[in-house]
Amino acid sequence: MVLADFRKIGLMDLGIAGRLTLVTGASQGIGRAIATTLAKEGAKVVVAARSAEKLQELVREIERNGGEAYAIAADIAKPDELERLVAEAQSLGTVELLLGNTGGPKPGAAQHQKARDFQAAAEQLLYPMVSLVNALVPGMQSRHFGRILFITSLAVKEPIENLALSNTLRAALTGYAKTLAREVAAAGITVNTLGPGYTLTERVEEVFAFRAQNQGISLEAAYAQQTAQIPAGRMASPQEIADVAVFLLSARASYLTGQALMVEGGAIRGLL
């Protein structure tokens, strides 16, 4: 049986074709992979990030592959730019799927951070997600359908050394998502978080460069040291994270909410 036949009988249809989707942090890495995968599944994707050039390149790639995408360059850590992003996205229709993704804050040990550092990290990782939810959930409620997914990190289950700001704020976002999930579930809206493990992205390169410098070892040695601790024996590709994310954003995941799902190749040692 060919792919088209499976789609006809509903075995592979994720139910997101034609749905307007907003993806933040879409210009590279995991966000980019999720945006392109959503577009392949037929979603109308609004891609947002700070780099207009990278976003236009992404839109061209999506359109070459038969998808539909719109680029809005904005720094969501700045309230006025986030407000503009929401207005431009909503001018295209009702946003039914939200993928909240951000870059990571600077590395560093907990004892070396100041209160202002945590404030800055919250302005980058937490507050924009709250603002996006407040702006977009009413539209989802009017349609009795919505999917909200935040990209966090395996650090919410197992904090990572020298990533104090990320460990703290990713956990805060997870708590917010869990609380929100209970409030909007009856309206047909699901809210989940997805925690990638070590994934081959620009952000991971930054973290491992910091680790290598801190330990006085080569970048290659830092990668090898970490990979040896992952049962899967390798790091993830952004596409492997995207495939799980797109399912969580799909109509098929209608009874899956309030969850913090880790995609980490077995790296987390704890039971929960």
**Is residue 97 a contact partner of residue 252, using CB atoms and an 8 Å limit?**
no
pLDDT attached to residue 11: 54
pLDDT attached to residue 69: 98
- Count of other CB atoms within 10 angstroms of residue 23: 30
Calculate the CA 170 to chain-centre distance: 11
Residue 134's identity, in one-letter code, is: N
Q: Match 């919505």 to its residue by tokens.
A: 146
pLDDT attached to residue 6: 43
Q: What is the DSSP letter of 163?
A: B
* pTM greater than the 0.85 cutoff: yes
**Is residue 230 a contact partner of residue 22, using CB atoms and an 8 Å limit?**
no
pLDDT attached to residue 3: 46
The answer to the question of residue 209 being in a domain is no
Q: Structural domain tally of the chain?
A: 1
The answer to the question of residue 87 being in a domain is yes
Residue 254 belongs to domain spanning: 17-194+245-263
The answer to the question of residue 208 being in a domain is no
The answer to the question of residue 157 being in a domain is yes
The answer to the question of residue 10 being in a domain is no
The answer to the question of residue 36 being in a domain is yes
**Is residue 257 a contact partner of residue 181, using CB atoms and an 8 Å limit?**
yes
pLDDT attached to residue 206: 77
- Count of other CB atoms within 10 angstroms of residue 233: 9
Q: What is the mean pLDDT of each run of 10 residues along the chain (272 residues)?
A: 47 89 96 98 98 97 97 97 98 98 91 97 97 98 98 94 95 98 98 94 78 84 84 94 98 98 93 80
The answer to the question of residue 101 being in a domain is yes
**Whole-angstrom distance, CA of residue 212 vs CA of residue 170:** 23
The answer to the question of residue 121 being in a domain is yes
**The CATH number of the domain where 27 resides is what?**
3.40.50.720
- Max distance between CA atoms of the chain, in angstroms, equals 60
